[in-house]
Structure 1
Amino acid sequence: MWMPCRTAGACVEAVRCCPQAGFRQRWPRRLSSSGSPWRLLFFGSDHFAVESLKLLTSNRSSSGGIVESLEVVTLSDDVPVKRFAQQNHLPVHRWPPNIVDGQFDVGVVVSFGRLLHERLINRFPHGILNVHPSLLPRWRGPAPIFHTIMQGDTVTGVSIIQIRPHRFDVGPILNQQLHQVPDNCTADELGAALSTKGAHLLVDTFMTLSEKIAHKREQSQTGATFAPKINTSMGWIVWEEQTCDQIDRLYRAIGSRIHLRTSWMGRTIKLLDFVGKCHISLLDQRRKAAPGSVSFLKETNTLAVC
C-alpha cells in the first residue's frame, strides 16, 4: 500500500497491489616481518565508513592493537567521518593528500567516492585496502547495497580488496565473508549490518595482512555486475511492466531516499508508503481486472493496482 502526497493536484490516499590540517612529518621506520602495528591513512566519508574507522581507532588505543597511528582524509567538512575523527582527536587532512614515501604503511578506503591516482597508491608499501559491501565481482560500483535489494539477492557479503588505479572495485581479493539477506530487509538495514561486518573483516585482514597479500586472488570476470548510483528516474512505477514483488523490492531499496512516483489520471503522484500484497474486492464484480489496471475505491479512498 502506498500513501501518496499531493502533487500537481493529485489526491489519492492509498495504493494497493493485488497478487586541512597539514601532515605531521615522520621519519620512515623499518617494517617488521609482519608489519604490525600499522601506520594507516584512512579515506572515507559516510556512516558506513565510520564503522571501520571506529574499530581501527579502538585497536589503536588498545594494548597489543594492530594500529600504531591513524590519520584521516575526507572530501568535505560536513561528513560523518570527519566529525568522528575530530571527536576522537585523529589528524584530518583535505583531499588530495600530500604525503611522502615511508609516511604510512597501508591506506584504507571505505565509501570515499574518488579514484586514487597510481602515484598515490605507490606511496603505500602494502598498498591501499578497500572495504566493499558485496561479494565481488558481483555489484562493482558505488551502490551495491541498493542493487542487492532491488534484484532480490538472498546472499551478499563484504570483500576486502587491494585497489588498483583507473577503475573501481577490480583489484585482487584479500578476504571475503558471506551475509544472508533477511526477508523484507531494507537497504538501510542491510547497510548497517554490512558496515559492522566489514569493519571486523578489515581488522581480521590486518591481523595477517602479509599472508593475505601473498595469497590474494584476482577477481573472476564471470559473474561481474555493475551497481550504478541510484537516481530519481529509478523511482518511476509503470504498473503494466512491474510486478508487486519488484515494486516492493524497489521501495525497500531506495524508498528512504527517493520517493517512488507514478502517473494516475494524467497526473504525477508520489507514493510514500507500501504495505505489500493484499486481497480486495472490486466494486464491479462482473469486470475482471487486467494486470496493471488501476481502480479507485471511493469507500476507502484507495487506488487499487492489479
Structure 2
Amino acid sequence: MWTTGIMGAFQKVFSHFQRGFMQTMRRTGSDGMQPRPYSLKSSSGPPWRLLFFGSDHFAVESLKLLTASRSCSERIVESLEVVTLSGDVPVKMFAQENHLPIHSWPPKIVKGQFDVGVVVSFGCLIHESLIKKFPYGILNVHPSLLPRWRGPAPIFHTILHGDTVTGVTIIQIHPNRFDVGPILNQELHLIPDNCTADELGEALAAKGAYLLIDTLKSLSERLVQKLEQSNAGARYAPKINTSLSWIVWEEQTCDQIDCLYRALSSRIPLRTTWMGKTIKLLDFVGKCHISLSDELRKPVPGSVTYQKESNILAVCCKDGWVGFKAVLLKKRLTATDFYNGYLHQTLQRKMPYQTAEVLFVSRKEGTASHQKRENSVW
C-alpha cells in the first residue's frame, strides 16, 4: 500500500510536470528559446509594419513605391517584407536587389508581427487564418473599377470588350473569394484610343501604386468608411488562353477583331485555319477599304485577298475587311510571300471564290463554354 501510494503520488507529480513542460515547449519552440515578442501598434496610423504579397511586373510598381516610402518625410512604411512565389519572378528579384526580407508561400508569421498586408497580382487565395494575423487586414490593388472585371485578367478583358473607362480599386480582401471585399479607395482611368493591354497594364500599375500609398496614409479612416461591393454590374475576367485567339469571321466585326488583337497579341497571336492548317495572323493593320476587281462577286466572311499596293492580306469579317502584314505558317511569311507561295496558286485554279481553299476558316471549338463563363457574375 505504501509503495502504491508513493508511486501514485509520483505519477501525479510527473504528469503535472510533463503537462507544464509540453505547454512551455509549445510556447517557446522545440529549442526552448522564447520567440521574438510582437506588440500591437500604439497608434492607429502610419508608419505601418507591412507584409507584401506579389509576383509579376504589375506588382513591382507598388513594391517600388512602398520601398521608397520607408525613407520619405511622411514615413508611410516602417518595415517591409515580401511573400512571393517560387522561381525568379519579378517581385522576388526586386526584393533581393533591395535587400528586403523574403518569405516563401505560405508565410509562417505570428499575430502582431505585421500591421497590414498588401496583395498585388499574387494569384493565391489567402486563408482566413492568415488574414486574422493582420490587425488592419490585407489590402488588394485591383486594376479595374470593381465590381466590373473581378478575376485574374481584368486588363485583358477591359481591352477585349472595348471599354473606354477603367480604373484601379483598393479593397480589403475576403477570405473565401477573390475580388469581392469592401472598397476602400477607387480612381478612374480614361483609356486612350488604340491602347494595348500591355500599355494599359503599365498605366494602371503606376496609378495603383500611388492609390495604395494614398490609402495607407488614412487607412484607419478608410476602414471605417469602407463600401461593400454590389453585384450589380459585376463581370468576371477569366484567365486568357488560346481559345480566345481563334477568330470567328462570321461573327466578329472589324472593331471586335481590333480589340482582340490589342488585348492578346503580345502574348497569344490571333489564329485561323487555312486548308486545314493553323495559321497565325501577325502585324494587324486594322480596318481596310477593299475594291474587288469583280464587283458582282460577293465575298463571304473569311475570304482572303492580297493588296499589292499596301502589301497586306485583307480578310473579310462580319462587317468589312481587316488587314495583316504577315502570317506564321511553318515560318513567318510577309503578306507578299504568302500570296506568292500559297494564295496566288489557289486563285489560279479558277475555283469559285467561296470555296474553302481560298478562305480563312473559323474554328469555333471552345468559344461557347468560354463565353458562358465570361458572362457569369461573381
TM-score by length of 2: 0.72
Gaps of 5+ in 2: 1-34, 317-378
Equivalent residue number for residue 278 of structure 1 = 288
**How far apart, in 1, do the equivalents of 2:307 and 2:72 lie?**
64
Tell me the residue number matched to 1:7. none
CA displacement, residues 12-62 of structure 1 (integer Å, 9 cap, x when unaligned): xxxxxxxxxxxxx65323423333110000000000000000000000122
Residue pairs, 1:85-100, within 5 angstroms: 85-100=95-110
* Equivalent position SS for 2:284: coil
Q: 2: distance between equivalents of 1:110 and 1:299?
A: 48
1:19 matched residue in structure 2: none
Task: Answer whether contact 2:40 2:112 (CA < 8 A) is retained.
Answer: no
Q: Which residue of 2 aligns with 1:294?
A: 303
Contact 1:44–1:110 under 8 Å retained in 2: yes
- Any idea what SS the aligned residue of 1:109 has? strand
- The residue that corresponds to 2:184 in the other structure is 174
- Distance of 2:245 and 2:90 partners within structure 1: 27
Q: How many percent identity over aligned positions?
A: 74
The structural deviation recorded for 1:298 is 7.7
Rg (Cα) greater in structure: 2
1:121 and 1:87 mapped to 2: Cα distance? Answer: 28
Q: How many Å separate the matches in 2 of 1:296 and 1:63? A: 63
Q: Secondary structure at the match of 2:70?
A: helix
Q: Secondary structure at the match of 1:43?
A: strand
User: What residue number does 1:9 align with?
Assistant: none
Q: Which runs of 5+ in 1 are unaligned?
A: 1-24
Per-residue CA distance 1:144-178 (angstroms, 9 max, x = gap): 00000000111100000000111100000000000
Instruction: Check whether the contact 2:95–2:102 (CA below 8 A) recurs between aligned residues.
Output: yes
Cα contact 1:34–1:208 (8 A) shared by 2: no
Shift of residue 268 of structure 1? 1.7
Equivalent-residue separation in structure 1 for 2:273 and 2:292 (angstroms): 21
Per-residue CA deviation, residues 96-125 of structure 1 (Å, 9 max, x unaligned), is: 100001100000000000000000000000
> Higher relative contact order at CA 8 Å, sep ≥6: structure 1 or structure 2?
1
Structure 2 residue identity aligned to 1:248: D
Counterpart code for 2:115: D
For residues 61-111 of structure 1, the C-alpha deviation after alignment (integer angstroms, 9 at most, x for no partner) is 223311000000011231000110011110011101000011000000000
Cross-structure match for 1:43: 53
Higher helix proportion: 2
Q: Which amino acid letter does the alignment assign opposite residue 250 of structure 1?
A: L
Whether contact under 8 Å (2:116, 2:137) holds in the other structure is yes
Q: 1:46 is matched by which residue type in structure 2?
A: D
Please tell me the residue identity of whatever aligns with 2:203.
Answer: A
Q: Find the aligned partners of 1:280 and 1:298 in 2 and give their Cα distance.
A: 8
**How far 1:293 moved relative to its partner?**
4.3
1:31 is matched with 41
Separation in 1, partners of 2:116, 2:42 = 14
Equivalent position of 1:21 in the other structure: none
SS in 1 for 2:273: strand
- Distance in 1 between residues matched to 2:284 and 2:307, nearest whole Å: 19
* CA separation of 1:99 and 1:287: change in aligned 2, threshold 3 A: same
* Distance (whole Å) between structure 2 residues aligned to residue 278 and residue 304 of structure 1: 7
State yes or no: 1:237 paired with 2:253: no
Return the letter of the residue paired with 1:294.
Answer: S
Whether 1:79 aligns to 2:89 is yes
Q: Choose 25-34 or 218-227, whichever is displaced more.
A: 25-34
Q: Distance in 2 between matches of 1:192 and 1:130?
A: 17
Between the two proteins, the alignment pairs up a number of residues equal to: 281
Residue 175 (structure 2) aligned to one of 165, 168, 190: 165
In the alignment, is the contact (CA less than 8 A) between 1:294 and 1:303 conserved in 2?
no
Secondary structure of 2:122's aligned partner: coil
Mapping for residues 1-306 of structure 1, pairs under 5 Å: 26-290=36-300, 292-297=301-306, 299=308, 302-306=312-316
Q: CA deviation at 1:299?
A: 4.7
Shift of residue 212, structure 1, vs aligned partner? 0.2
- Contact 1:185 1:252 survives alignment (8 Å): yes
Q: Provide the TM-score with structure 1 as the length reference.
A: 0.88
1:280 CA drift (Å):
2.0
- Which residue identity does 2:112 align to in structure 1? G
Q: CA deviation at 1:242?
A: 0.6
CA contact (8 A) 1:127 1:162 kept: yes
CA contact (8 A) 2:95 2:101 kept: yes
Report the Cα distance in structure 1 between the residues aligned to 2:40 and 2:268, rounded to whole angstroms. 50
8 A contact 1:205–1:212 mirrored in 2: yes
